[in-house]
Structure 1
Amino acid sequence: MSEQHPALTIVGSINLDITATTDRLPTPGETLGGGVLRRQPGGKGANQAVAGARLGGHVRMVGAVGNDGDGEALVAAMAAAGVDTTGVGRSGEPTGTALINVDSHGENQIVVCPGANGTVSLDGVEFGPDEAVLCQLEIDLAVVAEAARRTSGYFALNAAPAMHLPAELLERCDLVIVNETEYALIPELADAKLVAVTYGKDGAAILERGVKVAEAPGVSVPVANTIGAGDAFCAALVLALRSGLDYAAALATANAVGAAAVGDAASQPALEPLERYMPAAGSR
Structure 2
Amino acid sequence: MSASCLDLLDHLHGSVSVVGSMNVDYTVVTERLPKPGETVNGGPLTLLPGGKSANQASAAARIGAQVRMFGAVGEDTNADFLLEHLRDAGVDTSHIAAVAGPSGTTVITVDANGENTIVYSAGSNGEVSVDYVQQSSDALVAADVLGLCLESPMETVTACARLCHDAGLKVLLNDSPFVAELPAELIEASDILLVNEHEMAQLLDIAEPDDDDWDGLDWSDVARQMHDFGFNQAIITLGGDGSVVIDGDDIYRIAPVAVEAIDTTGCGDAFMGTVLAGLASGHALADSAQLASYVSAYAATGFGAQASYGTAAQIRERFGAK
Normalised by the size of structure 2, how large is the TM-score?
0.78
Return closer, same or farther for 1:212/1:19 CA change in 2, 3 Å cut-off: farther
The residue that corresponds to 2:237 in the other structure is: 198
Return closer, same or farther for 1:122/1:247 CA change in 2, 3 Å cut-off: closer
In the alignment, structure 1 residue 143 sits paired with structure 2 residue 156: yes
**Among residues 225, 228, 237, which one is paired with 2:275 in the alignment?**
237
1:125-170 superposed Cα distances (whole Å, 9 cap, x missing partner): 1233642110110000111001111102111111101112112211
In the alignment, structure 1 residue 276 sits paired with structure 2 residue 276: no
In the alignment, structure 1 residue 162 sits paired with structure 2 residue 163: no
Q: Secondary structure at the match of 1:185?
A: helix
CA contact (8 A) 2:24 2:104 kept: yes
1:206-251 superposed Cα distances (whole Å, 9 cap, x missing partner): 1257x76112111222222222111110010122233343343322
Q: Secondary structure at the match of 2:271?
A: helix
**Among residues 129, 133, 153, which one is paired with 1:122 in the alignment?**
133
Q: Which moved more, 1:60-69 or 1:262-271?
A: 262-271
Letter in 2 for 1:159: D
**Among residues 100, 109, 117, which one is paired with 1:92 in the alignment?**
100
How far apart, CA to CA, are the structure 1 residues paired with 2:99 and 2:142? 29
**Among residues 132, 140, 147, which one is paired with 1:134 in the alignment?**
147
| Residues 241-260 of structure 1: pairs in structure 2 closer than 5 A | 241-260=279-298
How far apart, CA to CA, are the structure 2 residues paired with 1:170 and 1:21? 39
CA contact (8 A) 1:8 1:60 kept: yes
CA contact (8 A) 1:105 1:223 kept: no
Return closer, same or farther for 1:6/1:104 CA change in 2, 3 Å cut-off: farther
CA contact (8 A) 2:14 2:282 kept: no
Aligned length: 278
Shift of 1:106: 4.7
Return closer, same or farther for 1:185/1:9 CA change in 2, 3 Å cut-off: same
The residue that corresponds to 2:260 in the other structure is: 222
Q: Secondary structure at the match of 1:61?
A: strand
Shift of 1:34: 4.1
Give 1 or 2: higher helix fraction: 2
Q: Secondary structure at the match of 1:85?
A: coil
Q: Secondary structure at the match of 1:186?
A: helix
| Residues 15-94 of structure 1: pairs in structure 2 closer than 5 A | 15-23=23-31, 25-26=33-34, 31-94=39-102
Alpha carbon RMSD of aligned pairs, Å? 2.6
How far apart, CA to CA, are the structure 1 residues paired with 2:286 and 2:31? 37
Shift of 1:178: 1.2
- Structure 2: tracts of 5 or more residues without a match: 1-9, 206-224
Q: Secondary structure at the match of 2:69?
A: strand
Q: Which moved more, 1:221-230 or 1:46-55?
A: 221-230
Question: What is the percent sequence identity of the aligned residues?
Answer: 36
How far apart, CA to CA, are the structure 2 residues paired with 1:267 and 1:106? 15
1:85-136 superposed Cα distances (whole Å, 9 cap, x missing partner): 0111111121110111234565543211001101113142123364211011
Return closer, same or farther for 1:273/1:150 CA change in 2, 3 Å cut-off: same
CA contact (8 A) 1:66 1:94 kept: yes
Return closer, same or farther for 1:230/1:30 CA change in 2, 3 Å cut-off: farther
How far apart, CA to CA, are the structure 1 residues paired with 2:280 and 2:113? 34
Q: Secondary structure at the match of 2:94?
A: strand
Give 1 or 2: higher strand fraction: 1
How far apart, CA to CA, are the structure 2 residues paired with 1:216 and 1:165? 27
How far apart, CA to CA, are the structure 1 residues paired with 2:279 and 2:115? 29
Q: Secondary structure at the match of 1:178?
A: strand
Normalised by the size of structure 1, how large is the TM-score?
0.88
Letter in 2 for 1:224: I
Q: Secondary structure at the match of 1:84?
A: coil
Shift of 1:76: 1.7
CA contact (8 A) 1:234 1:254 kept: yes
